[in-house]
Chains A and B, each alone.
Chain A
Amino acid sequence: MPIDIDMAEIAQLFIEESMEGLDIMESGLLNLDLGDANSETMNAIFRAAHSIKGGGATFGFTEISEFAHHLETLLDEMRQGERPVTRDGVDLMLQSVDCIRDMINSLSSGEVDTTRAEELEIQLEKMLNSETCVNTAQQDISTSIGADEGRAVTTAPESGWDIRFKPHPGMLKSCNDPLRILKELEQLGEIDVCSEGGTDLILGDFDPEECLLSWRVTLNGDAVRSQIEEVFAWVTDECDFAIEPIGGDAEIQKQDLAVKSASEETPANSGKETNTKKASPPRKAVKSSTSKQEGGSIRVNIDKVDALINLVGELVITQSMLSRFNGDFDFTQIEGLREGLSQLSRNTRELQESVMAIRMLPISFAFSRFPRLVRDTGNALDKKFELRLLGESTELDKTVLEKIGDPLVHLVRNSLDHGLETPEVRLAAGKPETGVLELNAYHEGGSIVIQVIDDGAGINKDKVLQKARERGLVGPDETLSDDRINNLIFVPGFSTVDEVSDLSGRGVGMDVVRRNIADLGGDVSVQSETGIGSTFTIRLPLTLAILDGQLIRVGKQSYIISLVSIVETIQTTTDKVNAIAGKFELFKLREEYLPVLRLHELLGIEADSTRIDDGLLVVAEANGQRIGIFVDDLLEQQQVVIKSLEANYRQMQGISGATILGDGTVALILDVPGMIRLFFEQNSDAGTVSDVA
């Protein structure tokens, strides 16, 4: 009975819900006050574990449901106050949560590795038995993992099973068809069915609604006992059946018997559980049907949907208002038409915002993993940490949210490992023993800012500078501002840690962080003060699909520069611009010399004028590098929808995409970091026309 398509969809739902449940369990376990087991938290954890168990059983993910069952048992005892909540217990349960998460993850990819689960089950079992100490004598951990678990691990004997099946006479009345059971057995392997005849089959008194036959089935193949038992799961009360291995040696038989007695109790104890296990399909079917689900779904707050519906309602009203003018229009109505159009533009903007809001999720989804991470890291490093989360309800685009997780983890680990000191060092430095790590998120303009702040030792500037000189990143006589030194840690291949630690310091860290963030259209920087701490600041666009752009004009062409990268726009004069070696131009902006990038030269188009006095300099910044972009004119600012050039052509250096302007023409969106790179590449080639495509 393989899972059909609908089942696969529901199974995907189970996976998503279980993940949420695991998150609840994890955060609950972390918040659990030791020794106070009867709190609401405990109940929440228990409920989550219970749903995972139930869901797992329903969808036939028996490995998960069985494992969750153990966890649930332990949780139940703690909830009832029968067992104290200990640190060991919480640790074990956290590991179990991880284990379930791994199992669920591997469900979607197809392979379920149960070795870890089995190990943890043994530990859970130990903990469960630690007080009562029942059955410890018989407990041979290496071969049998608890009576209940025995079914799963029972190996199939080589030559198959001998099954005796004798339905009670009333079985047909409860709509159970023996034939169906035989057919299901047939799916497990080759079967040889032999009817053993009916009891008291007297033609005269024969009641066709009674089942009087019984069968003896020889099943060849490598089916395991639990699979056979599943076939009979619906009818355990309606028939007598016995399953015995053919030709298995005595030991297996003995074990089987023990297992059987245990498993036979199960239906009596909890009928529900058996019923759900009935749904277990052959494992292969599960694998194939869950692996293809990748698209993912999104949970939207009902308020957002309601807001959207209201807006659509307004749009319809505006439309009907405007359609009035369609029939006989005269110029006395122009005022009404204007009003309608402005209403339409408002509706459109609001609708756009609301649709975008659907993709917006609070950053707490990305933050939620950190309490656990900080706790585990603290244990591993023997340091004491306090984590503060601020601005958890700050919303950002789902895609951005998903991609920011890993860089954020990296930054946090980095702060925990390198930034915050050990308690002894902290006490010696006159700081409190516990290091504080703060994660802060807030909106600023059209972007979201995420900060990772620690009150640790700060970046050792001398060491960074020394390392940078060793690697030839900085010239021996070059002097750099503190900020420049700090930001050297984002240069590829740079790591100040001499020994590679388990957590970070492989030298592949910070540059990857910067690149990942740059891929999202954002930027990362660090401020640090020795002895006081470091602050990593990530700045990201709220969404990837829409950009706040500044339209600029060069000659007859309009281009768009992302507003985020523009610092200011100035008008300057030729005498303030100096050329180095007659080529590389610099202009003085207050105390700083900035290179001039002539857009018309870079793009190979004709400008209105090449005189600096006639145009404007747009001061833009990317990766800490400022540059003055020379353009003919500034046009309006507007939000533009990003369209990819790659879809039909190819990626171009210096251009991040295209958009369609109000008049239907295409305008290219300039990618400031790419342009700066292109500009320096062209100039470093000393005048030769480089291959820039």
Chain B
Amino acid sequence: MVEAQRIEDNVTRQGDADEAGGQYLTFMLAGEEYGVEILKVQEIKGWDTVTPIPNTPDHVLGVLNLRGAVVPIVDLRSRFSLDSIVYGPTTVVVVVKMLDEDQERTVGLVVDAVADVYRLESNEIQPAPDMGGTIHTDFVRGLATVEEKMVILLEVDSLIEFRDVDDGAPSSTDDAALQAEAV
């Protein structure tokens, strides 16, 4: 049922944000607060070393064993072209379920820290302005203001590409070494 609702959401979302209301989990990334639909979140777990996959974009850190499933881990800072930091005690992995065409895939997002859970009505959510450059507008579902702060609501399903072949050159920076130092 949730699935059906989700698909419906996806359909009706085109153009306006009328149906975007609901609960959002927010997290911090370089001082900004971002939110994802809470129904998309499977769990939140602490940062753990990952196994890098060769020849993948930089933001794909590698794969992790999540109770027997092999799950890719994406660094959201890197995904949004933000400066990378040394992972600290608040660094967490938000495990989300993405809908890629008809297939549901589990992906971990590395964020600086988890923040809060808000209930937002659809009229509180504004469509994202065209920002150009740094953050791709496709990622953004809309903006909301909570207690005078801006929260960027993300479109979980479009955060990573699953069959894109134009990832460019093989990852030049050595993620493994970088992560190992961090831990």
Contacts and interface: CB of A to CB of B under 8 A. Distances in A.
Contact of B70 (A557, A603, A643): A643
Residue from the set B70, B162, B166 with the largest chain A CB neighbour count within 10 Å: B70
The listed residue with most B CB atoms (<10 A of its CB), out of A655, A658, A664, A666, is: A666
Contacts, number: 98
B51 A665 contact: yes
Nearest to B169: A689
A667 interface: yes
B72 A648 contact: yes
A558 to B, nearest CB: 8
B172 interface: yes
Contact of A666 (B63, B107, B166): B63
A645 B70 contact: yes
A691 interface: yes
Interface residues of B, number: 37
Nearest to A604: B170
A200 to B, nearest CB: 64
A569 to B, nearest CB: 22
Contacts of B176: 555-557, 605-606
Interface string B88-122: 00000000000000000111000000000000000
A648 B65 CA distance: 12
A203 interface: no
A655 B64 CA distance: 16
B172 to A, nearest CB: 7
A652 B174 contact: no
A329 interface: no
Given A647-B70, A689-B169, A606 B63 contact: no
A604 B107 contact: no
B70 A692 contact: no
B177 interface: yes
Of B50, B57, B64, B69, most buried by chain A (CB within 10 Å of CB) is B69
Interface string A640-677: 00011101111011110010100011111000000000
Given A603-B54, A605-B52, A643-B70, A692 B170 contact: yes
B149 interface: no
A648 B70 contact: yes
Given A643-B69, A666-B64, A666-B70, A648 B52 contact: no
A604 B72 contact: no
Given A605-B174, A665-B49, A648 B180 contact: no
A423 to B, nearest CB: 55
Residue in A602, A604, A605, A665 whose Cβ sees the most chain B Cβ within 10 Å: A604
Given A606-B174, A649-B162, A666-B63, A557 B52 contact: yes
Nearest to B108: A648
Contacts of B55: 603-604, 652-654, 692-693
B53 interface: yes
Contacts of B171: 604
B167 A648 contact: no
Contact of B162 (A606, A650, A658, A691): A650
B38 interface: no
Contacts of B54: 602-605, 652, 654-655, 668
Contacts of B131: none
Nearest to A600: B54
A648 B51 CA distance: 15
Contact of A645 (B52, B53, B106): B53
A604 B169 CA distance: 10
A650 B63 contact: no
A662 to B, nearest CB: 11
Contacts of B180: 556
Nearest to B163: A650
A691 B164 CA distance: 12
A689 B170 contact: yes
Contact of A693 (B49, B71, B107, B165): B165
Contact of B72 (A643, A649, A655): A649
B6 to A, nearest CB: 18
B90 to A, nearest CB: 23
Interface of A: 555-557, 602-606, 643-645, 647-650, 652-655, 658, 660, 664-668, 689, 691-693
25 contacts: A556-B177, A557-B176, A603-B54, A604-B54, A604-B170, A604-B172, A604-B174, A605-B54, A605-B174, A643-B68, A645-B70, A648-B69, A648-B71, A649-B53, A650-B163, A652-B56, A654-B54, A660-B68, A665-B51, A666-B62, A691-B168, A692-B170, A693-B56, A693-B57, A693-B170
A-B pairs with lowest CB-CB distance, top 5: A603-B54, A649-B72, A666-B51, A693-B167, A604-B170
